[in-house]
Amino acid sequence: MAEGAAPRVVKEEALPGGWVRLSFEPIAPDPALEVMELEEAQAVLTVLHAALLAERPEIRVLPPARFQLLGEGEEWGERRLRERFQARFGGMLLSLPEDLEQSRLYQALKLSPRYMGAGVREAARELFGSPVFLASVSMSIAVYFGAWLAPEPLFSKAFAVTLTAALALTVGMVEVANLALACVRLYWESEAAKTERELEAASEHFGRAVGGTGLRVLVMVASMGLAKATPAVPGGGLGALLGGPRYAVEGGLAVEAAATATVVANRSLILSGVATGEVAARLCGGLALCSTIEGKPSGSGTGAKLSTRYGSPHTRQNPPHNEAIEKELAAREAAGHTQLRKNKAQLDAQDKRVLERGTTGGPRFRKPDVSSLRPDGVRHNTNYVSNVRDLRRELDAFEAMKRLDPEAIHELYLLDGTLLRRHVPAGVSLP
């Protein structure tokens, strides 16, 4: 969709029994989504690796292609990844061996980038060279895309319902369905392969079927198995890969805990346990799409009221980023922090402005999104990444802030709470 173009309003039809049908009028493909840069792929891997390793920092991705707990034989990474995906999406719909890397599906996925188009091939090689990404895609096919085997796929877990609706509103139901069918075909052809040539043929069919938009959707589904937030894309972090929403439900769409979704033959989406129109607007607080799975809305979109308790809006174009800052500052105030600063020049523990000396063509100082002074006198700085395309810049800023004030705590997060980087000075503990 052209920059700034309004989303196409989805046709909405009430059905007996409280069901709602959403019909998506076809839209010409967005050329911007059909290309993926190498830098975008590298940013994706940074996020996925951080999400998997955050809870157990002693885990590392090790050659040749295995991620495991250092010093132990247990392949904690694969086991934990399975647990996360099944907790979010539900049980396995397609069987996979305990060792994901030994599955024919995993091996076929690894070969597929060579058959993808020139606009995405280099980025795909980067992505499919990561065991974390390959394992996440394999699990995505087993627990989510496997549902598309049915003539009319049914999703009964609210997480999967929300993700399906979010992807449909973002890129269109046809695009999501085409990717799902390509994934299912890859699974069956790779499982049936008896020779290397047959496995290669399965990879070729998949690679040629997946364009830039499909690859971006695949990234989103794989990342949602590791994410901490309810799926609502587009939005911050990896959601930015898909750009702005191409479709919208008038008044918004609220997905409730008992929601179900069915995709029918004409690629319309039939939902139960959802609210639209004025009811959705009240539940979602002005967001285009939200989930009320835990009794309160979560999601992303436009129209949300901007909080300004701790300072002027970080940006009016990105309400979720502003709200993340305000929420963090409120938590720190409750914990006894002082000198609560929102998007202001970096200070050290002695309240002196920290400047970059000798820089050219850039800022003389950094502006952490959140900065405060802990009760023990330690400065605590935090930044958030809204757009994955900005990840390299944000990582550079993190390193600069750490270099300028190594005695402070520095953190970098995605908006969904995924920790990307953290620096804690020696002798300092985190609560």
Q: What is the pLDDT of residues 234-250, one digit of tens each?
A: 666 677 788 888 998 88
Mean pLDDT estimate for the chain:
84
pLDDT, average across residues 193-201: 96
Report CA-CA distances (Å) from 220 to 144, 171, 226, 239, 266: 12, 12, 10, 7, 24
pLDDT of 317 reads: 67
Q: Are strands 19-23 and 269-276 parallel, antiparallel or unpaired?
A: antiparallel
Report CA-CA distances (Å) from 41 to 19, 44, 222, 261, 312: 38, 5, 13, 31, 34
Tallying the residues shown for the chain, one arrives at 431
Q: State which amino acid sits at residue 157.
A: K
Percent of the chain with pLDDT over 70: 84
pLDDT digit string (tens) for 278-305? 888 877 766 778 776 554 545 544 445 6
pLDDT digit string (tens) for 348-406? 989 888 887 655 555 578 899 999 999 999 999 999 988 777 787 888 899 999 999 99
| C-alpha span between 170 and 243 (Å, rounded) | 8
Q: What is the DSSP letter of 12?
A: E
> Over the Cα atoms of the chain, what is R_g?
22
Report CA-CA distances (Å) from 132 to 46, 62, 126, 296, 377: 11, 11, 12, 32, 39
CB 290, CB 299: distance < 8 Å:
yes
pLDDT digit string (tens) for 9-62? 999 999 998 899 999 998 888 898 999 999 889 888 888 877 776 555 444 444
Task: Calculate ∠ Cα 129-134-140, nearest 5°.
Answer: 155
| C-alpha span between 5 and 20 (Å, rounded) | 26
CB 398, CB 220: distance < 8 Å:
no
Domains of the chain: 8-298 (no CATH), 319-423 (3.40.1350)
Helix (H/G/I), strand (E/B), else coil: 129: coil
